[in-house]
Amino acid sequence: MKIEKKEIFGEWEEFTLTNDQNMSVSVLNYGGIITKILVPDRNEKVENVVLGYKNYQDYQENPNYFGAIIGRVAGRIRDAAFEIDGKAYSLQANDGKNHLHGGPAGLHQVVWEATPFETNETIGVTLSHQSEEGGGYPGNLEITVTYTLTNDNQLHLEYTAGSDKTTPLALTNHTYFNLCGNLKDTVQDHFLTMNSSSVAELDAELIPTGNITNVEGTRFEFRHERVLGESFNGKYNGYDHYFIFDEGPNEVQVELKEPTSGRVLTVRTNQPGMVMYTANDLESGQKLREGETRKHLGVCFETKGTPASLHHQGFPCILLHPGETYKQHTVFTFQIDQ
């Protein structure tokens, strides 16, 4: 196992973690961005399975949030406003009249303090940042995000945080996965299984209505393996929805398979659900490491709580109180289906 560090633009650093199974993960201290994940296919051909820009300077704006840590609150906050104990807070609107992914000053555009580490079984990098009160969010936050790579081809993402005031917090990572390898095709022919019986209903602006819908008999039914691309058409255009995980003994909440390469990605988390986003609005023509962007070129598994809880009953609360510790843990495991 080894860790390599590369300086970019003087202030940025990219850490590449490589295990003994020929898998590697590259992470920027800017935005905590995962720029590249290399994993072998069934024929031991090592290829990149995430979307990343060809030119590092494109990460400065990163309108698609490629690979980044998202927060303080991942997702859309209706009308860019919320209340805590009767007190109203106004945020910056950056998605129409709504607030998206932490706003224009989100965590995806800050330089984190990075500390690499290595143990007998793992390698990784710990990112730390103090998010000061502002932009409408109350409280000063101390946030730590740790990326750990194991020899079992597992990538662990651990998030911890504390605040001096009650504040909403729902962190996630916004990596776009494509198991074809080197972006040879879209994710339309990937097979997906998900341990979810319900999904949050959305309005025309992709804001949760407060209703929770049973997936049975709908295009959101993934409890039995289905092809993602069945909903990539003019009527539906894919997914950008919050799926609520079922409780139970099943540790793996998501399984994604790509039959040609044999690659399999599983996701397990301690979070109550996730937004699955299938790059519905990814405009063509942006230069990536292995080609150019196009619709449905990747799929994001944004494990987190949902900001719907700020306006509606029935969703797990995302408020972090002083004296509490926010703890989120998500594991992405790469395997081969022979």
Give pLDDT, residue 225.
97
Please say whether the beta carbons of 37 and 50 come within 8 A: yes
Cβ–Cβ under 8 Å, residues 16 and 1: no
At 101, the pLDDT band (50, 70, 90 cuts) reads: very high
Distance, in Å, from the CA atom of 223 to the CA atom of 225, rounded to the nearest integer, reads 6
Whether residue 309 has pLDDT greater than 80: yes
- The pLDDT, as a whole number, for residue 18 is 98
Question: What's the average model confidence in pLDDT over 187-210?
Answer: 96
Please report which confidence band the pLDDT of residue 175 belongs to, taking 50, 70 and 90 as the band edges: very high
Which positions ≥6 away from 247 have C-beta within 8 Å?
none
Q: Give me the residue spans of the domains in the chain.
A: 2-336
Q: Residue 233: pLDDT band by 50, 70, 90 thresholds?
A: confident
In a 3-state reduction of DSSP, which class is residue 267? strand
Residue 249 has pLDDT above 90, yes or no: no
What is residue 236's predicted lDDT score, i.e. its pLDDT?
80
Tokens 């997936």, located at residue? 215
Assessment of whether the complete model's pTM goes beyond 0.95: yes
- From the candidates 174, 190, 241, 296, give the one annotated as an active-site residue: 174
Q: Which of 92-101, 182-191, 215-224, 240-249 has the lowest mean pLDDT?
A: 240-249
Q: For residue 248, is pLDDT > 90?
A: no
Tokens of 70: 């998202």
Q: What is the mean pLDDT of residues 159-166?
A: 98
* Known catalytic residue at 174: yes
Predicted local confidence at residue 97, as pLDDT: 96
Confidence class of residue 234 from pLDDT cuts 50, 70 and 90?
confident
- What percent of the chain is predicted at pLDDT more than 90? 94
pLDDT in tens, 136-157: 999 999 999 999 999 999 999 9
Quote the tokens at residue 285.
Answer: 């023509």
Residue 80: strand pairing partners:
none
Backbone angles phi, psi at 223, to 5 degrees: -65, -25
Mean pLDDT of 68-79: 97
62: left (phi over 0), alpha (psi -120 to 50) or beta: left
Quote the percentage of the chain above a pLDDT of 70. Answer: 99
Structure confidence at residue 231 as a pLDDT band (50, 70, 90): confident
d(CA 208, CA 223): 22
Tell whether domain 2-336 is in CATH 3.40.50.300: no
Active site residue 302: yes
Residue 322 confidence (pLDDT) above 90: yes
When the pLDDT of each residue in the chain is averaged and rounded to a whole number, the result is 96
